[in-house]
Every structure is written in structure tokens, then in C-alpha cells.
Amino acid sequence: MNEIFDKLIIKILITSFILCVVLLYRYTQKIIVNRSRSFALKSVYPHKNPAHAIHVTSRILGFAIILSDFSFFLSEGLFMALFDFFIYSVSLIILYGVSLYVFESIALYNFSFEDEIYKRKNISFSIVTFGLSISSAFLIKRIFYISQGSLINLLFLWLFTTVLFGFALKTYYSVTQKNINQTILQKSNYEAISHIGFSWSWTLLIGSALDIEINNYTRFMTFSFIQIVLSVIIFPIFFIGISRIFGIRKSFSISQSLTSSTKDKNETEDLSGINDALLFLATAFFTSLITGQVHFGSFYPPL
């Protein structure tokens, strides 16, 4: 009974330490991500400003996702376990914050946090940042697992995935024919959800492409690039096939020339964004099945 009680006390101490790290993260994101003087420190009132609430809680969720696979090994003592957690959590906080800054600078370079969240209370802006937060979190969680405890490997993988995902974000308009700037200016929440599906699908594809041990950086990058190219080839095949099998007519190309000011918003706003997001994700999962789960072994197809 005393052993159970002691373990409970230790877990409560670890919980308290994690909350201290979360507090550190709250102040760190002000330095790295937000340019406003008091942005990260303002209280959150979801009923008054849901855009602010979505933005903040998406950051919290992303940070929780990153740390969810961390394990505490107490064989060398509680202090060493907490110290190890502190070092890696601080490293991941920095990488997460810089990733968000880079990705949001690419996707949302025409907008500022203070204008869209405080002045306009723009939920579509927060939806896009929510998608980028979760994408960044899963990428960092993936590279943390692959790095196998090496900070050098972690830094290399972070730079590599940041370049890949940053380039992927630049292809949003080319692939979907949707303008993210127009989406945010018009506060189109459905179109913002479409961007979530796009960014999450690329997160799945990039994560699947990293499924190799890091024995040689050049070999790792070459293999990953080949997997990305294969994904680019396979993805549209699955997308077109699924669309035709289920008779989904409205997909990538969506008209955005809605000029009539007399119509109701529900009549003028394109509501297919959720469908596009789900179709993106389904296609990405099918594509990752081909790129990451086909093992030839000693089999070689005869030609």
C-alpha cells in the first residue's frame, strides 16, 4: 500500500513539473511566435472571442501531442528523469515555436495575429492556424521518435521536414485553385477547413516518407525524396479513383467568383470545404499505405 502511495506522489510531482513546463511554453511562444507585446499573456474568453480561444488551445493541443510519447525512466533517479524531460521539452518548445513561425509566415504572410484575432475575431484565420499547429506538432513528434534521442539528428530532421512542409504549403493554390488570402478576408470557415485537410494530408505523406533509419544523411534524404515523389504520383490516382467510385463531382477546382451582394451568405459561400478536407485525408491515408506499407522483401516482379 505504501508503494502505491509513493508512486502516486511521484506521479503528482511529475504532473506539477509538466505544468511548469507548460507555463514556460506559454511565455516562450510570446518571444518566438507572437509579435504583439501581450498577445500570449491575455486571458482567453471563448464566448467573447472564439478565434482567440481556438488559436491558444490549438497551441496547447499541439504541445501535448509533441510530448505524448515521452517516457520517464526513474531507474537513475527522479531528478535525472525530470532533467532529461526538461532538456528535451525546451528543445521541442523552440523547434515547435520556430516551425509555427515559419509555416504561418508562408501560408499567412499577408495577415497579422493582432488584426485578425483581436480586431476582426476571424475564426477562419484561427482554423488555418489550428491546422498548422497540429501539422507542426505531428511532424515534430515524428522526428523526435526517429531521432532516437540524438539532438543532432533531431535538428537535421527538423530542418529537412521544415523545408518539405514549407514547400508543400506553397502548392496549396496550384493544387486546389483556392486562394487562402481570399478565404480569410471573406471569413470563409468551410474553405479554411479545406486548408486543414490539405496541410494534414501533407503531414501524413511526409511522416510516411521518413520511415527509415538514419545511418547516413545523404541516403536518408534520397530515400525520403523518392517516397515524396512516389506520393505525388500515387495521390492523384487515388483521389480521382475515389471521386469517381463514389460520384463526388465537386472536388479540387471550385469557383470563387461570388460577386452578388444581395444573396444570403449561405447561398454565396462555397460549403464544400469539409468534403475536400475529408477527401484529402482519406486519399493521404491510402497513399501512405502504398508508399510505406508495401514490403517486397526478396520478391522481384518478373517483366
DSSP letter string, the chain: -HHHHHHHHHHHHHHHHHHHHHHHHHHHHHHHT--STTGGGS---TTT-HHHHHHHHHHHHHHHHHHTT----GGG-HHHHHHHHHHHHHHHHHHHHHHHHHHHHHHSTT--HIIIIIIS--HHHHHHHHHHHHHHHHHHHHHHHHHTT-HHHHHHHHHHHHHHHHHHHHTHHHHH---HHHHHHTT-HHHHHHHHHHHHHHHHHHHHHT-S--S-HHHHHHHHHHHHHHHHHHHHHHHHHHHHHTT----S--------SSS-HHHHS---HHHHHHHHHHHHHHHHHHHHH---TT-----
CB 198 within 8 Å of CB 192: no
Tell me the mean pLDDT in the region 38-52: 75
pLDDT value of position 38: 47
Per-residue pLDDT reduced to its tens digit, 194-244: 999 999 999 999 999 988 888 888 899 999 999 999 999 999 999 999 999
Lowest mean pLDDT among 128-142, 173-187, 228-242: 173-187
70/251: higher pLDDT: 70
**Average model confidence (pLDDT) across the chain:** 84
CB 116 within 8 Å of CB 51: yes
Give just the sign of the alpha carbon dihedral 209, 201, 57, 108: positive
Is the pLDDT at 252 greater than 50? The verdict is: no
Lowest mean pLDDT among 74-78, 106-110, 119-123, 260-264: 260-264
257/176: higher pLDDT: 176
pLDDT value of position 231: 93
% residues pLDDT > 90 (the chain): 42
Q: For residues 142 and 24, what is the distance between their CA atoms, to the nearest angstrom?
A: 23
Instruction: Kindly give, in sequence order, each residue whose CB lies less than 8 Å from that of residue 102, ignoring residues fewer than 6 positions away.
Output: 162, 166
Domain boundaries, the chain: 1-148, 171-292
Per-residue pLDDT reduced to its tens digit, 53-100: 998 899 999 999 999 888 888 888 888 989 988 988 888 888 998 999
pLDDT value of position 33: 54
pLDDT value of position 41: 54
Q: Which of 114, 145, 302, 298 is nearest to 214 (CA)?
A: 145
Q: For residues 275 and 193, what is the distance between their CA atoms, to the nearest angstrom?
A: 9
User: Which value, in Å, is the radius of gyration of the alpha carbons in the chain?
Assistant: 22
Instruction: Kindly give, in sequence order, each residue whose CB lies less than 8 Å from that of residue 122, ignoring residues fewer than 6 positions away.
Output: 51, 116, 184, 187
Residue whose C-alpha cell reads 495577415 in the numeric block = 111
Task: Categorize the per-residue pLDDT at 257 as very low, low, confident or very high, splitting at 50, 70 and 90.
Answer: very low
Beta-carbon count within 10 A of 272 CB = 18
Task: Categorize the per-residue pLDDT at 30 as very low, low, confident or very high, splitting at 50, 70 and 90.
Answer: low
Tell me the mean pLDDT in the region 175-195: 89
Lowest mean pLDDT among 52-56, 78-82, 246-250, 252-256: 252-256
Residue whose C-alpha cell reads 482567440 in the numeric block = 52
- C-alpha grid cell, residue 66: 509533441
CB 83 within 8 Å of CB 90: no
Length of the chain: 303
